[in-house]
Each structure stands twice: as structure tokens, then as C-alpha cells.
Amino acid sequence: MDCLFCKIINGEIPSTKVYEDDMILAFRDIDPQAPEHVIIIPKNHISSANEINTENSKYISHIFEKIPYIAAMLNIDEHGYRIVNNCGKNGGQTVPHMHFHLMGGRGFAWPAG
Ligand code: 5GP
Ligand code: ZN
């Protein structure tokens, strides 16, 4: 499949990995928006949040089970962090393999623009 993040999963495109197991991969964003900015993806191709269903939701729950561990690894657990999913055109999604941005090391305003 011609998918950037699938290529990162299978090693065709290099990435700086911060966590990996059989279901998910976390790697540093190439254009970080915060001192710590990691992309967390399911290892099966889910195009966007619109495609989450009972068959694949275990990948999503697994991501959230591991976020505390990844945040602790990045040393952003104590001060907190932002988790973002962009879905589709209006959501600002640019890579059509569902992912969460985990960002920390600075504060974020809310509401966001
Ligand atoms: P989206 O806009 O789809 O929510 O987020 C896509 C993210 O992937 C962006 O933050 C962008 O910087 C990141 N990104 C795009 N291409 C690459 C790449 O080849 N390697 C890495 N590590 N990140 C990428
Ligand atoms: Zn993919």
C-alpha cells in the first residue's frame, strides 16, 4: 500500500522510534510543534478516525494504554501533554493513516484555533 506511515512501519522509510510493540509504533514527528512531539500509529492501516470499528478498536485502546508509559519515557507525564487526532480535510489530516500526536514540553492554549 502506498501509505507513508505503513512504509515507516515496514522500515522502507526511516524514523526515530521511541516505542514499538506488536500493535503500535511511536516515532518522532519530522516537523515537531513542541519540544517533545511523537506520532503514535496502529500497525494496521486505519485511514482515519472515521474508520475505527469493533474489529480494529483494540489498536486504539492499546495506544491509549501505552500513552502513560510513552509520556513517562519522554518525561512529560508530570507537567502534562496534549493528544491530538486530526481527521479528514477539515480536521487538518495530511497523512491518511490514523495517528495521534503526543506533544509536551510546553504549554498549549485552549480553545485551539
Ligand atoms: P497530520 O497533519 O496528518 O495530523 O499529521 C501528520 C504529521 O506527520 C505531521 O505532523 C508531519 O510533520 C508528520 N510527518 C509527515 N511526514 C513524515 C515523515 O516522513 N516522517 C515523520 N517522522 N513524520 C512525518
Ligand atoms: Zn498506512
Domains and CATH numbers, the chain: 4-104 (3.30.428.10)
DSSP output for 86-101: --HHHHT--SSS--EE
Q: From the CA of 15, give the closest atom in ligand 1.
A: 22
List 37, 97, 99, 101, catalytic entry? 99
Whole-number pLDDT of residue 113: 58
Q: From the CA of 13, give the closest atom in ligand 1.
A: 19
E strands along 1-113, which residues?
17-20, 24-28, 36-42, 81-84, 100-104
| 99 in catalytic set | yes
What is the reported pTM? Answer: 0.98
pLDDT in tens, the chain (113 residues): 799 999 999 999 999 999 999 999 999 999 999 999 999 999 999 999 999 999 999 999 999 999 999 999 999 999 999 999 999 999 999 999 999 999 999 999 998 75
Whole-number pLDDT of residue 112: 75
